[in-house]
């Protein structure tokens, strides 16, 4: 068995090959010992680790692992997953939505990190807990899928009430900007929708600016925050297409680092 691991701040993501097929699995970062036990129970021919917790995890393993630089592993994994999903790109923007978000310009063999933002999956989980008390990712994204944002977010049509706005009226003018106008209670569905909207719009707008700066026509989005999160995907795809660029959300994008580590 060949194993690649991306030991990140929130999740330990694993890609492994067995009987000529690639499989995936993950553990919460808080369960580092359980992840190590799973690896130690396998018969491993090749083991590589990347990510911020790679050194800590490696100390718990019976088989000494090769440590692969995180950006190097991620790009290698993305290029492999792009091919598997039927895409052929020489130059593109890579937006890696982890706990925070890191944005790169990939041009052939060149990989340049352009910018990052602290808005990402950690923001989604943290704000959702503060506003609703919820801590379960699946529950948050399920509630948020209803896209009930019109009372929480200030939309363009709120500003141009009674007149035709110059841009689509359902676009966000201010995230959470409508809250102070209302006195009624807000539901968990409304809050989780608004939080997902804030994260999705922020990472997309920043990505679009980087794409314009680098003359890129495609943005590849990866990260666990897209898993079972239809509202996040819809917003990212809509905003990207609105500016005439191609959005690509990889099927197994959250495992890019693990796949790249395995390939290395």
Q: How far is CA 47 from CA 17, 40, 122, in A?
A: 11, 11, 28
Residue in the block written with tokens 């030991």: 7
- The token pair that represents 243 in the structure block: 């500016």
Between CA 88 and CA 133 the distance in angstroms is 43
Kindly report the backbone phi and psi dihedral angles of residue 237, in degrees, each rounded to the nearest multiple of 5, phi listed first.
-65, -40
Q: How many CB atoms lie within 10 A of CB 82?
A: 21
User: Active-site residue numbers?
Assistant: 70
Between CA 108 and CA 92 the distance in angstroms is 9
- The DSSP result for 6-71, as a single string, is EE-SSEEEEEEEETTEEEEEEEEGGGHHHHHHHHHTS--SEEEEESTTHHHHHTT-SSPPEE--HH
Between CA 65 and CA 46 the distance in angstroms is 8
């Amino acid at each position: 068995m060949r194993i690649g691991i991306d030991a990140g701040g929130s999740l330990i993501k694993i890609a492994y090959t067995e009987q000529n097929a690639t499989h995936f699995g993950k553990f919460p970062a808080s369960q580092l010992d359980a992840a190590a036990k799973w690896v130690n129970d396998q018969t491993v021919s090749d083991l590589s680790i990347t990510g911020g917790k790679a050194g800590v995890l490696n100390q718990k393993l019976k088989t000494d692992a090769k440590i692969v630089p995180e950006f190097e592993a991620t790009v290698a994994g993305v290029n492999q997953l792009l091919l598997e999903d039927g895409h052929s790109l020489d130059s593109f923007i890579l937006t890696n939505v982890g706990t925070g978000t890191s944005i790169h310009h990939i041009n052939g063999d060149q990989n340049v990190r352009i910018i990052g933002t602290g808005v990402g999956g950690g923001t989604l989980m943290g704000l959702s807990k503060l506003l609703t008390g919820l801590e379960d990712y699946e529950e948050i994204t399920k509630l948020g899928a209803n896209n009930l944002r019109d009372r929480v977010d200030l939309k363009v049509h709120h500003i141009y009430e009674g007149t035709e706005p110059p841009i689509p009226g359902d676009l966000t003018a201010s995230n959470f900007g409508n809250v102070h106008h209302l006195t009624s209670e807000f539901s968990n569905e409304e809050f989780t929708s608004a939080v997902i909207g804030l994260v999705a719009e922020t990472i997309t707008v920043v990505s679009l600016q980087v794409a314009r700066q680098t003359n890129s026509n495609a943005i590849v989005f990866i990260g666990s925050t897209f898993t079972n999160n239809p509202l996040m995907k819809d917003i990212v795809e809509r905003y990207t297409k609105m500016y005439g660029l191609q959005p690509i959300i990889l099927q197994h994008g959250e495992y890019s680092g693990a796949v790249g580590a395995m390939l290395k």
